[in-house]
Structure 1
Amino acid sequence: MVHAQSYQPSFRPDALKDSPAGHPNEVLVVGSPHLSTLPASFKPEMVEPLLNRLVKWRPTAVASENISGLQCDAMRRQRERQAEAVETYCFDPSAAGRAIGLDVPAANAEVEKMLAAWPGAPSPAQRRRLALVFLAAGEPASALVQWLRLPTGERHADGALTTELTADLQAQTTKKSETDLVAAQLAARSGLERVWSVDDQSFVGAPIDEKAYGAAIARAWNNPATKARTAAATTLYAGIERTDGLLEMYRALNSPDMAAQAYQSDWGAALTEPSAQAYGRRYVGYWETRNLRMVANIREVLGRAPGTKLIAIVGASHKPYYEAYLHQMRDVKLVDVEPVLQ
């Protein structure tokens, strides 16, 4: 059965011709592999060709696929519903919080207070203090930005910023993660003070048979588009050691034809999954809800300083949804990433 979209809303912001006052908000969405899945031959320096190109775009904000400290704090208060998501996706700020005497909400308020009065040339001690507050706020990527902006000789323990916490920060500088090696490095090299955490894993669906659900989705994914997508990914992973091999992977993942292939292999296939429990449609409900909330978080960041140039680093599967939803917004100008990656 084909369900055609016969009704069209009369209000379509994307079709309007007026322009917001002042410089537009610009968003560059960079679909990324999850670096943790790359072969052991991957080295942190392989991100340099990518970083060099992104820095030249001169972003004024950077967003990453991480859950904010405030949302994780709220999820911890719903442990019966969110325990697994917290364990999987949330940073533990408790050690930093004990060191500084601030819980997550208080640390986030302290971050806002500090940045509102942030000097043009902060001292190393101020950066170390802000790094610690970011850790207590549940924002390790932003703490890493402060750490990276310190001269190497100033990256040391300082009062409540203990040797254990500084060791964790130093480990982040080479962690196999697009948040640490791309988003935080990009923010630091662009002269920014933080990374915006915009992921959302708060979706809680109706109770289901997890085993049957997983089997149904696996069957939906077993299709020609998935096989073609897997073969292409295998080729890209095999070429990671070549000069600009990682950059070539980013170029491929951000090519225009990737969106259609991803849809056909994943969410489009799931929508037609025929189980009586509608497992495929439930899965797509989760996926679309998550992406809508992620894009809402990006829109909130843009609203803090109209005229922002934001780079969003996100898993490549999210890129088509990010761009589709952002394109509907009157005060968002999408930028084509392909020329930036050349």
Structure 2
Amino acid sequence: MKELTRLSKMFAEQLHWGALAKATIATALLGVTIILGSRNLANFDAALIGYTFASLFAAFGIVYRYSVWLTKPPTRMYWRRGWQLFLSPRLWKNLRSPRILAEAVVRKIVVQDFVWHRSPERWAGHMLIAAGCVLAALVTFPLVFGWVHFTQGAITPEPTYIIQVFGFGVREIALHGLESWFTFHALIVASVLVIPGVMIVMYRRMLDTGAVAVQRFSRDFLPLILLFAVAFTGLLLWVSYEFLEGYFYTALAQLHAWTVIGTLIYLPFGKLFHIFQRPATLGIAYYKSHLSELEPACCPLTGEEYAPAVQTKDLTEVLHELDFDYSAVGGPPETPPWNEISPAGKRMLIGRAHSKIRNDRFD
């Protein structure tokens, strides 16, 4: 009993109550939107209840972890500065802020050129997985939550379906047209994108010595296995009802459901969480683009300008919050903290130290 009390107390101390409140509110709001968006569950498919609860769990975990992540001093600093610069009237005066945002979205989110610079092969795998997952999410979640469903349209030699969004008919599509084929096979297209992407990334992880040295199963291989399982079982479902007259369909549907639910539950805890972290890097683009226009800081040793003063101030503030003290120990009392010295000044101090140790002799 004492051990249970001790564990409960330790758990309560480690729990981030602010993040818990935000996660609870976000999950409740998602639940309300599911009820309202499906017209009081009239358009909700009860067979998908497992997906729904897994999605609610994932939403809670994602918001909780994201909220905790934003409390970390470096992340909080970038987050705060990013929003300050984005809303800066000076940047909006000549519409520079929207241009920076558009460029950052294209480069960091859509094209992801930072991955291309590391390896074209890595970029290809990453883009295939990203495109497949985004397409699958755009289709799956609205259908699972009952936000989107289809009703029968005109009964003519050319039958149609009506796409219902939140209970409102928004578009009528021909049953045998190209648009309807892509609409009803979008998840198949997503699977065809994800599977080769996973194989490319897996191939690289097995042969790249740099990746092999630092990778872990739970962090690097498990998300790939889960994505492959979801895509492959979904593809098998299509093969079953399209070519095998539904043979083994029920078992495959159960297997696919478990892989999807497992992936959703894993989402807040593993590497796939970086999907939700990536948009926050847009603030870094504002930070970097604005630094060149700010007043520079001068190195106390060399007297040269080396970085914007606001950047050195932010760094000092973050280091203080993290209890990192880079003050000089054992040196002259006038020596400034290490983080306030320019790279040239640091090299000069290192040179002085070597010179002192060798009694001014470097032969």
TM-score, normalised relative to structure 2: 0.24
Higher relative contact order (CA 8 A, sep 6+): 1
Higher helix share: 2
